[in-house]
Amino acid sequence: MSFLLKAQNIWDKFAKYKINDYAKLRNFDFGPNNESSVSKLSPFVAHRILLEYDLIHDVKSKYKIKNSTKFVEEIFWRIYWKGWMENRPKVWQNFISEKNLDYDHEVYENAINGNTELDFFNSWVLELKQYNYLHNHTRMWFASTWTFNFGLPWQLGAKFFFKYLFDGDAASNLLSWRWVGGLQTKGKQYLFSSSNLRKFSNNRFNVEKIINKQIFLEESNQIPLEDEIYKNNMDPKSDNLIMFENDLHLATLKNLIPSYKKVFIVLLKNEQRQIKLSESVLKFKQDLVSEFVEQFHNVKQIDPCLLENTFKKINEIDIIYPGVGENYDFIIEFKNLHNKKIFNLVRNEDLFAWKFAKKGFFKFKENIPKINQRIFENYSKKNNF
């Protein structure tokens, strides 16, 4: 079964049978071998096998689900996180360039190997490595334990998640860790109680008390708002296109890709990555890319090391904008080293939604009706074309 078909089947099943209970059950993690209360679509959404805006449109038109408000709001959280990061790319730059972290190396080694005194944490480490996924509530527990119980730098925890998560996109992962630590919403840390853990783990974890250290994180660098991203659109500007594995939305790209002479998909190896990924995550990404390439005659995967020779005589290149993160860092370095002109192709829906993500989520939430209107206008145009 193709990844697209698998993702669509998961979505259809969730939308028909589970979404009505999502608001009530979404915080419960029943364990990796039990039926989940959430959709588990994030690995596909993170690579845009399914597009966030498609899910929102489906909920409101195809399925016409009444009790979907909370689920739709969670999709908008993903859009918001992306927009917040695009408006403040310095957050990623600060994170990736931080080299002088002070921490207890023995505590760190025990944590990443699931060899701590906390059985519940050890089980999460094992689950993460085995399934490349954790329930969102468990991710919050994990990050809180890592930061406030073990006293480890949140940056190392975020990198640990990047290494093992199938859905480890820069914005959602990085900003969620910042939120738990009290950096995203200034001074508001996420701490949990033993009763919270017991209830929402469905009594799988029963401890007397959760012990936390008095730790207060501070931002050492200023984070200015930037607007460079809004100078882009989705109009082709050259004959050659570069893509990455985190935007493989077949339905929209199939109309764009034939307009190019050649299209190259780049999947970074660990040699080109600032954060090394596990073999299972790299294989997952490779399988997604291979499946996508098979759909087009003018698309091929290219080794990152071959870009220089391939584009030796080509100075202007379009890219499907991969967002702030590893892929964009790689292509900007390539651009600067070889004096290339890069044109970012950015989805119009993203540009429209991201401009409302310059402040907190509740300010963003006020503008969700406008974003919904734009989504439905875009679908009307596609259907009339």
pLDDT (tens digit, 9 = 90+) per residue, 67-115?
Answer: 889 999 999 999 999 999 999 999 999 999 988 899 999 999 999 999 9
Mean pLDDT of 335-339: 96
- CA 85 to chain CA mean position, Å: 11
Q: Tell me whether residue 63 is in a domain.
A: yes
Q: CA-CA distance, 89 to 226, in Å (whole number)?
A: 8
- Using a 10 angstrom Cβ sphere, with 0-12 exposed, 13-18 middle and 19 or more buried, the burial of residue 377 is exposed
State whether 94 and 195 are in the same domain: yes
Can you give the CATH number for the domain in which 75 is found? 1.25.40.80
Whether 100 contacts 381, CB under 8 Å: no
Mean pLDDT of 361-373: 95
Lowest mean pLDDT among 80-94, 210-224, 263-277: 210-224
Domain final position from 58, 87, 116: 87
Q: Tell me whether residue 354 is in a domain.
A: no
Q: Tell me whether residue 194 is in a domain.
A: yes
| Whether pLDDT at 341 is above 90 | yes
- Give the model's pLDDT for residue 384: 44
- Tell me the residue range of the domain where 18 lies: 3-87
Count of domains in the chain?
3
pLDDT band, very low/low/confident/very high, at 237 (cuts 50, 70, 90): very high
Mean pLDDT of 29-46: 95
Instruction: Give 360's strand partners.
Output: none
Contacts of 120 (CB under 8 A, 6+ apart): 141, 197, 201, 204, 205, 207
| Whether pLDDT at 220 is above 80 | no
State whether 65 and 96 are in the same domain: no
pLDDT (tens digit, 9 = 90+) per residue, 125-165?
Answer: 999 999 999 999 999 999 999 999 999 999 999 999 999 99
pLDDT band, very low/low/confident/very high, at 383 (cuts 50, 70, 90): low
Can you give the CATH number for the domain in which 327 is found? 3.40.50.620
Q: Tell me whether residue 372 is in a domain.
A: no
Q: Tell me whether residue 357 is in a domain.
A: no
- CA 234 to chain CA mean position, Å: 21
- Give the model's pLDDT for residue 150: 98
Q: Tell me whether residue 217 is in a domain.
A: no
Q: Tell me whether residue 366 is in a domain.
A: no
Instruction: Give 345's strand partners.
Output: 233, 320
Looking at every residue in the chain, the average pLDDT score rounds to 95
- Give the model's pLDDT for residue 87: 98
| Whether pLDDT at 364 is above 50 | yes
C-alpha distance from residue 178 to each of 88, 174, 181 (Å): 14, 6, 5
Q: CA-CA distance, 124 to 178, in Å (whole number)?
A: 20
State whether 328 and 241 are in the same domain: yes
Lowest mean pLDDT among 62-71, 118-127, 158-167, 179-188: 62-71
pLDDT band, very low/low/confident/very high, at 289 (cuts 50, 70, 90): very high
- Tell me which H or E stretch contains 348: helix 348-354
**Phi and psi of 182, rounded to 5°?**
90, 15
Mean pLDDT of 14-27: 93
State whether 235 and 338 are in the same domain: yes
Contacts of 186 (CB under 8 A, 6+ apart): none
State whether 335 and 235 are in the same domain: yes
State whether 232 and 338 are in the same domain: yes
State whether 80 and 94 are in the same domain: no
- Tell me which H or E stretch contains 197: helix 194-200
| Whether pLDDT at 365 is above 50 | yes
Q: CA-CA distance, 167 to 177, in Å (whole number)?
A: 14
Q: Tell me whether residue 340 is in a domain.
A: yes
Contacts of 218 (CB under 8 A, 6+ apart): 183
CA atoms within 13 A on the CB side of 213: 13
Whether 281 contacts 262, CB under 8 Å: no
Q: CA-CA distance, 271 to 249, in Å (whole number)?
A: 26
Domain final position from 87, 110, 127: 87
**How large a percentage of the chain has pLDDT more than 70?**
98
Can you give the CATH number for the domain in which 144 is found? 1.10.579.10
Q: CA-CA distance, 180 to 177, in Å (whole number)?
A: 5
State whether 161 and 267 are in the same domain: no
Lowest mean pLDDT among 11-20, 72-81, 274-283, 353-362: 11-20
State whether 94 and 156 are in the same domain: yes
- Give the model's pLDDT for residue 378: 82
| Whether pLDDT at 202 is above 70 | yes
Domain final position from 87, 105, 139: 87
| Whether pLDDT at 204 is above 50 | yes
State whether 191 and 278 are in the same domain: no
Buried-exposed string 99-121: b where 16+ CB fall within 10 A, e elsewhere: eeeeeeeeebebbbebebebebb
Q: CA-CA distance, 365 to 379, in Å (whole number)?
A: 22
State whether 82 and 164 are in the same domain: no
| Whether pLDDT at 267 is above 50 | yes
- Give the model's pLDDT for residue 385: 35
- Tell me which H or E stretch contains 320: strand 316-320
Q: Hunting for tokens 């080293």 — which residue is that?
A: 337
State whether 71 and 38 are in the same domain: yes
- Give the model's pLDDT for residue 361: 95
